[in-house]
Amino acid sequence: MTLFSALLRFSSPLNQVKSLSPLQADIIKTIALVAMLGDHINTILLSGRSAFLYAFGHIAFPLFTLFWAANLPADAIRLRQRARRLWLWAIVTQPLFWLAFMMKGQSWLALNILFAYAGCTQLISWAARWGVNGAMAGVALLLLIAWPLSPASYGVSGLVFCLLCIIARYHSGAAENGMFLLLLFAAMAWLNMPPVLNGWWEDAIVYDFLPTLVLPLLVIGLVAAMPGVSSLRIWPRRFFYHAYAAHLVLLGCLAVMPVRP
């Protein structure tokens, strides 16, 4: 079997996420939370000096996005409710996001990652309610928020990855199509790749490409192979919103505290 044919037979990571037990899902979410915390500690408190935390932090967004897409509801009413909840939390956590990153020179125009999820959820909510006109309005909304998302929340590449995950969520045929999976993996790899390699492609592969693409798939595969206990959970439902806000408060307070000699 050639490498290309093997890639075409690769199981959809979104389908793997859907098949996880609550315990397995919580284990992966915990890994993603730790990765996000480590990445933000490296950026805010360590000024990016830790190569390990830089690389490890790249697994957080792909994992969270796959879970977000896999858990999107099918009916229009619940989609509207999900979009409203995401907008609420995005707006509530934005001042905390400013607090955490302002000492690193981050622009106050930069939006946190919840706006990407809220915008994409709003697009499919409008599409479910108003068809093509709703989808066009949703695309216009994403174009408006793409630039403010770029400084710290992946911008266009993040929105493209979210939209591809949405397609895989609502079209099972696409989720198992080999060419679509290659496109999905390419979008995942694009998330953290520098715009120009200029001779330092080795570092880009080790610290950007591999952690962004390979490690999330490896984490999902390894945890999916573990025995699943469906009735056991680690975290309560919607824990991520509270954890996201809490870690921003903590890091923001530490960032603005004066350093004692």
Spell out the long-range contacts of 178-185 with Cβ–Cβ below 8 A and sequence spacing 24 or more: 178/7, 178/8, 178/9, 178/10, 179/8, 181/7, 181/8, 181/10, 181/12, 182/7, 182/8, 184/13, 185/213
Q: Which domain holds residue 91?
A: 13-253
Q: 80 in a domain, yes or no?
A: yes
How many Å apart are CA 134 and CA 127, to the nearest integer?
4
Q: Which residue has the higher pLDDT, 32 or 12?
A: 32
Q: 2 in a domain, yes or no?
A: no
Dihedral of the CA atoms 53, 51, 93, 80 (nearest 10)?
A: -80
Q: 141 in a domain, yes or no?
A: yes
Q: 95 in a domain, yes or no?
A: yes
| Arithmetic mean of pLDDT, 47-76 | 92
pLDDT tier for residue 8 given thresholds of 50, 70 and 90: very low
Digit-coded pLDDT (tens) for 68-98: 999 999 888 999 999 999 999 999 999 999 9
- Whether the per-residue pLDDT at 247 is higher than 60: the answer is yes
Q: Which residue has the higher pLDDT, 113 or 201?
A: 113
Q: 139-148, 178-187, 227-236: which range is least confident on average? A: 227-236
Q: Are 95 and 80 in contact (CB under 8 A)?
A: no
The CB density around residue 166, as the number of other CB atoms within 10 Å, is: 20
Q: CB-hemisphere CA count at 13 Å for 116?
A: 30
Q: 125 in a domain, yes or no?
A: yes
Q: 127 in a domain, yes or no?
A: yes
Average pLDDT, the chain: 86
**Domain count across the chain:** 1
Q: 7 in a domain, yes or no?
A: no
Q: 90 in a domain, yes or no?
A: yes
- Whether the per-residue pLDDT at 1 is higher than 50: the answer is no
pTM of the model: 0.91
Instruction: Name the packing angle between helices 76-101 and 114-149 (round to 10°).
Output: 60
